[in-house]
């Protein structure tokens, strides 16, 4: 009986200690589950007609886990695992389960250091300063690119020289971002190519700075993407600015691509837009131009207007109409996503797009 009593007491004490430890851990660790469900109906008219349901008209659909732990003295551990979802058919986006983001790191009063698959500065610049973000619909900044197969905004690139993944989301990367001083912060990212015998020849170097204050928001970015195994060396310089005055908001930006390889497939894109909010409603408009140089010279111009109605803080309805005009002999036709075969022809290259969708965030 004494042994049984002792055993019961020991188990009770162990359970109490475990409960206190769990409570202490819960008080210093914060786990957040979040996501976006965004789907829309798309109608397009070019040389032929197209109608379909797609995912991510305003924001890429996703599911994510964000973890922070207070380590004391202003030091925190952090981690993000974020999976892209194609809501129209249930498949994974970005060709990987945690393809949107997957990183771990530490933050302190001296800044944050993170390792993993992370956004490059081009992603944030082309998303935060665009009325239609960098999604695959509307007068989006995703129109910009395709210079020699290089896609600074969509993140794609020709060849498979490295494991970097592209300039928008960078695999195998180490990133540092400073704290904010008087509205200004800066950061740098290095993407390792992880290619045997080519440590310095296969990499992405990314530096950026951003200022926010007095109604202004501005960002500059420089990315050097080197992939010698496919003879690719691309430098991208970008800048964008936004200004808010009451219910009015305006944005503009430019992305310039310098292809230093033998192909010399340079290019440049810019955009300018604005929006106005009244109550639960928002109207927006944006013009985007993409112009290739030296190789298959030509340009794409897109103008779109959109309307959004907020049903709540988390749910909204949206619609947009956009006209894409493709010009230049031998130039590859573009819109905000890959152009399906047959939608354009040599004699009919322009596209008119209408979208209507719903977005819910949690």
In a domain, 289, yes or no: yes
Cα dist. 301→144, 198, 276, 289 in Å?
10, 39, 23, 4
In a domain, 113, yes or no: yes
CB contact set of 62 (below 8 Å; sequence gap of 6+): 35, 36, 82, 83, 84, 85, 93, 100
User: Has residue 16 got a pLDDT over 80?
Assistant: no
Q: How many domains does the chain have?
A: 1
What are the residues facing 103 on neighbouring strands?
A: 80, 116
Mean pLDDT rounded to a whole number for the chain: 90
In a domain, 285, yes or no: yes
Report how far Cα 284 is from the mean position of its chain's Cα atoms. Answer: 20
Stretch 13-39: mean pLDDT: 66
In the block, residue with structure tokens 């409960």: 19
Read off the pLDDT of residues 123-145 as tens digits, 9 standing for 90 and up: 999 999 999 999 999 999 999 99
In a domain, 210, yes or no: yes
User: Has residue 23 got a pLDDT over 50?
Assistant: no
Read off the pLDDT of residues 317-353 as tens digits, 9 standing for 90 and up: 999 999 999 999 878 899 999 999 999 999 999 999 9
What is the residue range of 355's domain?
Answer: 32-361
Distance CA 310, CA 345 (A): 39
User: Has residue 198 got a pLDDT over 50?
Assistant: yes
Cα dist. 195→161, 191, 227 in Å?
8, 12, 10
Read off the pLDDT of residues 212-265 as tens digits, 9 standing for 90 and up: 999 999 999 999 999 877 778 999 999 999 999 999 999 999 999 999 988 899
In a domain, 1, yes or no: no
Whether 165 contacts 227, CB under 8 Å:
no
Torsion-angle region of 242 (φ positive above 0: left; ψ -120 to 50: alpha; else: beta): beta
In a domain, 6, yes or no: no
203 or 95, greater pLDDT = 203
User: Has residue 161 got a pLDDT over 60?
Assistant: no
- The domain that holds 339 is classified in CATH as 2.40.160.10
In a domain, 23, yes or no: no
In a domain, 4, yes or no: no
């Amino acid at each position: 009986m004494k042994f049984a009593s002792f055993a019961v007491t020991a188990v009770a004490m162990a359970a109490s200690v475990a409960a206190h430890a769990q409570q202490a851990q819960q008080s210093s660790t914060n786990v957040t589950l979040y996501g976006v469900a965004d789907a829309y109906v798309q109608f397009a008219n070019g040389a032929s007609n197209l109608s379909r349901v797609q995912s991510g008209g305003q924001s890429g659909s996703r599911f994510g886990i964000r973890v922070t732990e207070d380590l004391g003295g202003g030091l925190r551990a952090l981690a993000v695992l974020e999976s892209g979802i194609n809501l129209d058919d249930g498949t994974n986006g970005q060709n990987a389960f945690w393809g949107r983001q997957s990183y771990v790191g530490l933050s302190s009063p001296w800044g944050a250091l993170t390792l993993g698959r992370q956004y490059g500065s081009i992603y944030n610049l082309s998303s935060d300063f665009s009325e239609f973000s960098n999604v695959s619909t509307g007068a989006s900044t995703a129109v910009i690119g395709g210079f020699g197969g290089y896609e600074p905004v969509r993140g794609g690139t020709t060849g498979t020289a490295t494991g970097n993944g592209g300039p928008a989301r960078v695999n195998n990367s180490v990133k540092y971002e400073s704290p904010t001083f008087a509205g200004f912060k800066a950061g740098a990212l290095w993407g390792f190519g992880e290619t045997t015998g080519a440590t310095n020849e296969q990499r992405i170097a990314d530096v950026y700075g951003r200022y926010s204050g007095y109604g202004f928001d501005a960002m500059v970015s420089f990315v050097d993407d080197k992939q010698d195994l496919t003879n690719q060396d691309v430098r991208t310089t970008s800048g964008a600015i936004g200004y808010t005055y009451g219910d009015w908001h305006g944005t503009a930006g430019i992305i310039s691509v310098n292809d230093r390889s033998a192909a010399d497939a340079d290019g440049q894109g810019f955009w300018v837009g604005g929006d106005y909010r009244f109550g639960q409603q928002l109207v927006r408009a944006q013009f985007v131009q993409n112009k290739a140089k030296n190789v298959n010279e030509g340009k794409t111009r897109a103008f779109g207007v959109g309307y959004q109605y907020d049903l709540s803080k988390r749910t909204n309805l949206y619609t947009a109409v956009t006209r894409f005009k493709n010009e230049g002999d031998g130039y590859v036709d573009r819109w905000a996503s890959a152009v399906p075969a047959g939608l354009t022809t040599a004699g009919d290259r322009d596209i008119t797009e209408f979208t209507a969708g719903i977005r819910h965030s949690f």
